[in-house]
Amino acid sequence: KKIHLEPSRTLMEFRLLPGLTTEQTLIHNISLRTPMAYQEEEDSKYYLNIPIVAAAMQSVSGVKMAIELAKLGGTAFIYCSQPIESQAEMIRQIKRYKAGFVPPETVSPDMLIRDLYELTRQRGYNTFPVVDEQKHLLGIITKNDYDVKPHGDLTVKERMIPRKELTVGVNIDNIKQANTLLRETHQSVLPIVDEQDRLLFLVFRKDIRNHLDNPHEILDEHKRYFASAAINTHDYMERVPALVEAGVDFLAIDSSDGHSVFQQKTLEWVREHYPHIPVMGGNIITEDGFDFLVEHGARAVKVGMGSGSICITQEQKGTGRGLATAIIKVAEARDRYFKKSGRYIPIVADGGIVNSKDIVIALALGADYVMMGRYFARMDESPTEKVTIHNRVMKPYWGEGSARAREWKEARYHQLIFVEGVEGFVQYAGKLRDNLPETLAKIKAAMSSVGAANIRELHEKAELEVVSALSIREGKAHDIYLPGSENDYTAI
């Protein structure tokens, strides 16, 4: 028996002390690039552009989330609490989707303007190609070309852009050249044509930017989005081959307690049969747990137990650890292993990360990236429908250990007779694209204060302090009347 009398800490209990900010650490110079998994040979495919991934949960990570997050530099883990074939189909859909390009066959010239508008709106495009039967480009419609009247009528504001104004054809492989041309010609859309000057694709300015920003899009040689999936320790011998066949790039074993011989067997089996596919092990919260998983082939390790917003594991089983302490301990094990072996195994903080401040603290304590469920469940791209409760727009969110998730008979907790998760609602937040930039800006602002130009420097330079409950109170607005809030403003 071993007893730790020092209490474990949560992320909320820490604050960062500022260091020296320099030109190199101004916000626009800060990089959030971070390794996703250990690779024998450096492979830029296994880097994230942002240190954030979406949890493998039914109410979080479907195809839409995976594609949108890949575009923004992260990845979403397609949940495994579903039949093997449907999970593989999700991976196929992600991989089928060609990064950044809209094939012209998606529209025909016979389509009504109203249908085109609807299609454009649904897909979030600002611009759409109109082609004839031979797929010759007839024109481009943009959202701004139409006015929607309150009674639903559409009126055309401008004529479609005639083809002659869009004669610049570029080689599809040369995205940089396309970007330069877009900039020089002040166009927001560029036709990609074949030798006969027939339209192959249209490239949109925003896609070009994504291509340049996002290694998933420019470095994947087949121009497919990066796809990640969760697996379990029960049916991996059937599930992994189906996912690999579908084109999966990265796997994560999904379990609330990863320190087990079942993970060992799963890791060893995948390493033997698919050595090119990295596997993340977890979740663990101890140094022994980290060493164990890495010894058996984990190329990334997920940290956290009992801290998720929907999680009641700590209450039900009494197991768990404050996420901050778990990160600190596991990061020590990771650094020791790196010194000894030269292999850097990224660690992922998971469960209970609510906002940008939590992300920064998790990274500063040693995490290489974070996984979030609740944060993403609130977005348009999560697989659930919006509901209105007490005049507030919400989205359902439930744990993978909840009764709802376990209706799927092979759920990871199927052998248990009690639940470890709850089912509820989170406030709807809109499009991921409209939320993520603010979160990233805050992370960069914090790194700038610390004087860290990247996450590795943040690990090295961060100085953190445990704060008292009263100083947390002091850190919020206080002693001021804020209309609409219940803040106490009567203190003298």
Using CB atoms within 10 Å of the CB of residue 227, give its burial: 0 to 12 exposed, 13 to 18 middle, 19+ buried: buried
The yes or no reply on residue 395 touching ligand MZP (CB under 6 A) is no
The reply, when asked if residue 399 is annotated as ligand binding, is: no
Q: Among this protein's residues, is 80 annotated catalytic?
A: no
Of the residues 100, 191, 352, 383, which one makes contact with ligand MZP according to CB under 6 A: 352
Instruction: Tally helices (H) and strands (E) across the chain.
Output: 17, 23
> Of 57 and 202, which CB lies nearer to ligand MZP in the complex structure?
57
Residue 55 or 202: which CB sits closer to ligand MZP? 55
Toward ligand MZP, which CB reaches closer, 208 or 372?
Answer: 372
| 194 alpha carbon, distance to own chain's centre | 35
Structure tokens at 390: 């007490």
Neighbours of 52 (CB within 10 A): 27
CB of 412 to ligand MZP, least distance (A): 9
Name which of 62 and 352 has its Cβ closer to ligand MZP.
352
Q: How many residues of this chain bind ligand MZP (CB under 6 A)?
A: 23
DSSP class of residue 97 equals: S
**Catalytic member of 9, 321, 378, 412:** 412
Q: Is 449 annotated to bind ligand?
A: no
Q: Is 400 an interacting residue with respect to ligand MZP (CB under 6 A)? A: yes
CB 162 within 8 A of CB 184: no
The Cα-based distances of 131 to 12, 61, 102, 196 in angstroms read 55, 34, 12, 15
Q: CA 356 to CA 358: how far, in whole Å?
A: 5
Please name the residues in contact with 426: beta carbons below 8 A apart, sequence gap of 6 or more: 374, 377, 378, 394, 395, 397
Q: Per rule CB under 6 A, is residue 215 in the interface with ligand MZP?
A: no
170 contributes a contact to ligand MZP by CB under 6 A: no
Helix axes 261-273, 287-295, angle to 10 degrees: 30
Output the six-digit token pair for 459: 């690990």
User: Is 305 assigned to a binding site?
Assistant: yes
Write the Ramachandran bin of 306: left for phi over 0, alpha for psi from -120 to 50, otherwise beta.
left
Stretch that binds ligand MZP, among 219-227, 264-272, 345-353, 481-489 (CB under 6 A): 345-353
Distance (Å, whole) CA 124 – CA 70:
16
Report the distance separating Cα 29 and Cα 270, nearest Å: 39
Stretch that binds ligand MZP, among 133-141, 142-150, 351-359, 428-436 (CB under 6 A): 351-359
**Interaction mask 234-273, ligand MZP, x per CB under 6 A:** ----------------------x-----------------
Residue with tokens 């030109």, as numbered in its chain = 23
Q: Is 412 annotated as catalytic? A: yes
Q: For residue 61, state whether it binds ligand MZP (rule: CB under 6 A).
A: no
The catalytic position among 311, 334, 374, 406 is 311
Of 11 and 30, CB closest to ligand MZP: 11
Residue numbers at the binding site for ligand MZP (CB under 6 A): 55, 57, 256, 283, 308-311, 313, 350-353, 371-374, 399-402, 420-421
Q: Residues comprising the binding site?
A: 254-256, 304-306, 308, 311
Residues forming the active site: 311, 412
Q: Residues comprising the binding site for K(+)?
A: 306, 308, 311
